[in-house]
């Protein structure tokens, strides 16, 4: 469709040996598949070739834009294995819960744990969850330099999550909240800004 013109999909399983159609270099740890031409594009050239990058948060194998991609994050002196786990932990206001979630080794387990504790979820969660996601993603990309470099390399390309009807576009009319969050984080990294004013995880 026209809405998908000039887009590239994030490639989950990078096949080394593929050549970038734009510069002929071999692809590195990540690569993009350009929809119209069916060509592979490297991270250095993607911003010159496409106007948007479309990705799926929920895939069997995690990719670098996914919230559950293995990327250690330290917040309040506590390490979490990925954004998704920290995000679930942020639904609660006690130190005990925060530490408990940090021990989870997968996003799925963290999600299930949060669902089982639904009655304890902070009352303002619906109002602050997008800003919390901004903070979580900022920590991911600022603390993991390679990931931050890949995000910055996308320049001003529109980032679109496809699968979820809130965090993504869903069937086409979703608000694409995650894509917008990643674009905001990209700007924060580019400007060297520290998001001190983010409404995020309450201090305990």
Rounded to two decimals, the pTM is 0.89
* Ranges 21-35, 75-89, 155-169: which has the least confidence: 155-169
State the pLDDT at residue 196: 59
pLDDT band at 136 (very low <50, low <70, confident <90, very high): very high
Q: For the domain 57-155+163-204, what is the CATH superfamily, name and number?
A: YbiA-like (1.10.357.40)
pLDDT band at 90 (very low <50, low <70, confident <90, very high): very high
Beta strands 52-55 and 158-161: pairing type?
parallel
Q: Which of 69, 83, 86, 112 is nearest to 201 (CA)?
A: 86
pLDDT in tens, 173-197: 788 999 999 999 999 999 987 765 5
Domain boundaries, the chain: 1-50, 57-155+163-204
State the pLDDT at residue 84: 96
Q: What are the CA-CA distances from residue 101 to residues 108, 118, 160 (Å)? A: 12, 14, 28
Which residues lie across from 160 on neighbouring strands? 54
Report the distance separating Cα 51 and Cα 132, nearest Å: 27
Q: Residue holding tokens 């006690």?
A: 94
Exposure string over 41-50, b if 16+ CB within 10 A, otherwise e: bbbebbbebb
């Amino acid at each position: 469709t026209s809405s998908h013109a000039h887009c590239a999909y994030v490639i989950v399983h990078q096949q080394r040996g593929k050549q970038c159609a734009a510069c002929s270099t071999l692809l590195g740890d990540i690569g993009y598949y350009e929809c119209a031409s069916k060509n592979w594009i490297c991270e250095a050239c993607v911003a010159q070739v496409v106007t948007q990058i479309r990705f799926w948060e929920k895939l069997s194998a995690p990719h670098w834009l996914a919230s559950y991609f293995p990327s250690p994050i330290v917040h309040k002196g506590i390490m979490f294995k990925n954004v998704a786990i920290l995000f679930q932990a942020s639904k609660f206001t006690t130190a005990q819960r925060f530490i408990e979630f940090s021990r989870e080794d997968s996003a799925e387990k963290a999600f299930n744990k949060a669902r089982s504790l639904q009655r304890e979820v902070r009352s303002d969660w619906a109002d602050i969850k997008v800003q919390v996601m901004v903070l979580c993603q900022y920590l991911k990309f600022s603390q993991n330099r390679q990931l931050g470099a890949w995000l910055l390399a996308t320049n001003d390309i529109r980032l679109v999550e496809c699968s979820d009807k809130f965090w993504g576009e869903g069937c086409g009319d979703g608000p694409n909240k995650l894509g917008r969050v990643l674009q905001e984080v990209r700007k924060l990294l580019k400007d060297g800004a520290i998001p001190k004013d983010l409404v995020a995880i309450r201090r305990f």
